[in-house]
Amino acid sequence: MKEKALKLFYEGKVRKEFETPERIHFTVSSSTDYPVIYDKKKGWSCSCKSFSIKGIDCAHIQACKLYLQNSTIENLSKKEKERTKRAFLNLKLINEKGKDLLNYAKSYYDDANYFLSKGLYIEAFELYSYVWGILDSLARLNYIDPGKSKKDFKVDQD
């Protein structure tokens, strides 16, 4: 069941139709089109036999769950990209000792952007976090000045 769900998701068979404050409506195109509804109070339902007979999450519902998880991590990664981009624009190297590490951070940032462009959102998100680990350390050591991005850094505010 899980494999079928993964296949449906990765082959782009899940379509989000529309969302209301109470529900999200999907269509999953398998052998035929299956409308899947996520009701924020009542939970998931699908029009297929498997769901109506057994009452358990069918592959269509599982595929829609994957779709939702993926769009959440997609949004998070895109936000991290913006935050990191701002940081690189605003920061200034103030101690040459930090130069190598800053270059590492920049190349990891480029890799993260590459993953993001390929739809590999988890990989991208992990790399942005890694870049931030380096940037925060550089700021704490006073090797860089975050400038206008200071609020995005985990350093003491003065």
- What span, in angstroms and rounded, lies between the C-alpha atoms of 88 and 38? 40
Is residue 58 within the footprint of Zn ion (CB under 5 A)?
Answer: yes
With CA atoms as reference, report the closest residue to 79 among 123, 144, 124: 124
Is residue 46 within the footprint of Zn ion (CB under 5 A)?
Answer: yes
Cβ closest to Zn ion, residue 36 vs residue 138: 36
For strands 92-93 and 43-46, give the pairing: unpaired
Is residue 48 within the footprint of Zn ion (CB under 5 A)?
Answer: yes
- What span, in angstroms and rounded, lies between the C-alpha atoms of 91 and 147? 5
Cβ closest to Zn ion, residue 52 vs residue 71: 52
3-state class of 33 per DSSP?
Answer: strand
Is residue 105 within the footprint of Zn ion (CB under 5 A)?
Answer: no
Within the chain, residue ranges assigned H as helices are: 2-10, 49-54, 59-90, 99-117, 121-140
Asked if 58 and 1 touch (Cβ cutoff 8 Å), the reply is yes
Segment near Zn ion (CB under 5 A), from 19-27, 43-51, 97-105, 109-117? 43-51
Is residue 87 within the footprint of Zn ion (CB under 5 A)?
Answer: no
Cβ closest to Zn ion, residue 46 vs residue 127: 46
Cβ closest to Zn ion, residue 15 vs residue 106: 15
Is residue 64 within the footprint of Zn ion (CB under 5 A)?
Answer: no
Cβ closest to Zn ion, residue 58 vs residue 134: 58
Q: What is the closest distance, in whole angstroms, from the C-beta atom of residue 49 to Zn ion in the complex?
A: 8
For the chain, the straight-line distance linking the first and the last C-alpha, in angstroms and rounded, comes to 54
Q: What is the closest distance, in whole angstroms, from the C-beta atom of residue 52 to Zn ion in the complex?
A: 9
- Residues in contact with Zn ion by CB under 5 A are 46, 48, 51, 58, 60
